[in-house]
Amino acid sequence: MKKLLIAIGLFASASLTAQIKKLSPFKVGDKVAFVGNSITEAGFYEMYVWQYYMLHFPQRKIQVLNGGIGGDVAGQILDRLDADILQKKPSVVVLIFGMNDSRYFEYFNKPEAEVRKEAVATSFSSYQQIEKKLLALPGIQKIMMASSPYDETMTGPKNNFHGKYATMIEIANFQEAAAKKNIWGFVDLMRPMTAINEREQKLDTNYTLTGTDRIHPGNAGHFVMAYFFLKSQGLTGSVVADVVIDAATGKLQKAVNSSIKNIVTKGGKVSFDYTVSSLPFPTDTVPRCWGNTQRQSDALAVIPFTEEFNKELLTIKGLKSSAPYVLTIDGERIRGWQGGQFAKGINLAVVTNTPQYQQAQKVAGLLLKYRDLEQKLRSYYWLQFNYFKKKGMMYLDTQAAMDSVTTAAAKDWAVNFKKENYQDARKKEVRKGWEKEMAVLIDEMYKLSQPVKHTISVEVELVN
């Protein structure tokens, strides 16, 4: 143990002068595997990352793979890396661990320093073996991502493991050092998410980006995770569109990420054909994480996602400042604004009844269906690695396996949670059917996200 801790210290020290590799956006054809624990298995933060790519880069087709299994530590990720992840031939692996590695109830029974010392050493030892495997695969882009945080500062009686967050920080430190040493990408979720928690808890001590268990983020927390990942890729400021038209002259002054044609200005009315290469990002208003009331849209109160990632700006100069104008798209009334508001710029990305927003909502709806199917497969693999492996029954999927799950479910809530799904998932033809349906959904989502030409008009709104 002492030698291993010295190795961790030397490992970190050797990386102090190294630089983190700047993350690049995903490229066409990338297959991105997010590999982690139950937070990854939930499937939301990586879904939000993929949703952004589908809507903002519809010509850049990629696939995002959920490689999460609940309860995993680095050692369990190592055990399944080949069979569960690498066999899918990802071009990018995003590696996340730390929440479970940092231990739980051990803090009640042992000195904090002792728990931390054992937890960090064990996690680092397993990581070294993962690293060896990944270094042997130079064709795969590697990204290390420090876990979302355990919230030690919120109020509440549940899971108050004092010292756990400090252990997670030490794990995050060697993860960052490893990324520097190997010239891999690194994304830190822990510190910036903790900063949000602490900032908001000054106003509301119950605030958290996790849930009452201090561990599992709700939909808002997952959206914040996706936000920080996209920021790490340098995508901040990439607009959906930015269009400026002078109504007085009929001249196009700016058209970013868009094509504007056939501008007509007559009798105080401006009309034009509008084709944008991206779609706005709709935010979900339904809580979808089990046992957590957070909604994805709640995150907009604590992160500047709209300002940094979701601006579809339409600016029309030369209108009468105080006059009321109505915006129509394809002949349908959208909303009214004053001429002065048009001169400052309207962000259409947050206007929910535009055809482009509704087009994006359809993509998001299909992505939720995709996630539901992928959840069925992840549930199946959870049982293989967390239950059947220790019984020597991996992939047998016989009636005896089903009977074993049924018996265990009476005492094990986690197995019970997966039991019903396993009834179908143990049939290979059913799993193949899910995979085919998922492939069809990917094609449909990318078809649906392609640019569509619209006709926009802005004219004085007559008030009866």
Q: Quote the CA–CA distance of 21 and 271 in Å, as a whole number.
A: 46
Q: Tell me the per-residue pLDDT of 279-295, one tens digit each, with 9 for 90 and over.
A: 999 999 999 999 899 99
**CATH number of domain containing 259:** 2.60.40
Residue corresponding to tokens 């069925």: 376
**CATH number of domain containing 154:** 3.40.50.1110
Q: Residues 270, 402: one domain? A: no
Q: Tell me the per-residue pLDDT of 415-430, one tens digit each, with 9 for 90 and over.
A: 999 999 999 999 999 9
Q: Residues 219, 315: one domain? A: no
Contacts 24+ apart (CB under 8 A), 194-200: 194/149, 194/151, 194/153, 194/165, 196/224, 196/302, 196/303, 197/149, 197/151, 197/153, 197/154, 198/153, 199/302, 200/302
Domain annotation covers residue 310: yes
Q: Residues 39, 134: one domain? A: yes
Is residue 464 pLDDT above 60, yes or no? Answer: no
Q: Tell me the per-residue pLDDT of 78-105, one tens digit each, with 9 for 90 and over.
A: 999 999 999 999 999 999 999 999 999 9
Give the residue with greater pLDDT, 84 vs 3: 84
Is residue 463 pLDDT above 70, yes or no? Answer: no
pTM as predicted: 0.95
Q: Residues 35, 155: one domain? A: yes
Domain annotation covers residue 285: no
Q: Quote the CA–CA distance of 72 and 176 in Å, as a whole number.
A: 20
Structural domains counted in the chain: 3
22 pLDDT band, cuts 50/70/90, is confident
157: which residues sit within 8 A by CB, 6+ positions away? Answer: none
Its domain, for residue 345, covers 241-276+296-351+450-460
Q: Tell me the per-residue pLDDT of 240-252, one tens digit each, with 9 for 90 and over.
A: 999 999 999 999 9
Average pLDDT for 358-363: 98
Domain annotation covers residue 288: no
Q: Tell me the per-residue pLDDT of 33-75, one tens digit each, with 9 for 90 and over.
A: 999 999 999 999 999 999 999 999 999 999 999 999 999 999 9
Q: Tell me the per-residue pLDDT of 105-155, one tens digit each, with 9 for 90 and over.
A: 999 999 999 999 999 999 999 999 999 999 999 999 999 999 999 999 999
| Category of 383 on φ-ψ map: left (φ > 0), alpha (ψ -120 to 50) or beta | alpha
Domain annotation covers residue 46: yes
Antiparallel, parallel or unpaired: β 332-338 and 324-329:
antiparallel
Instruction: Supply φ then ψ for residue 302, to 5 degrees.
Output: -125, -10
Q: Residues 219, 112: one domain? A: yes
Q: Residues 117, 188: one domain? A: yes
Q: Residues 179, 259: one domain? A: no
Q: Residues 255, 377: one domain? A: no
Domain annotation covers residue 338: yes
Average pLDDT over the chain reads 95
Q: Residues 217, 249: one domain? A: no
Average pLDDT for 361-390: 98
DSSP class per residue in 227-288: HHHHHHTT-TT--SEEEEEETTTTEEEEEETEEEEEEEEETTEEEEEEEESS-------S--
Query: Taking the CA of residue 374 as centre, how many other CA atoms within 13 Å lie in the half-sphere pointing to its CB?
Result: 25
Q: Residues 259, 382: one domain? A: no
Q: Residues 169, 312: one domain? A: no
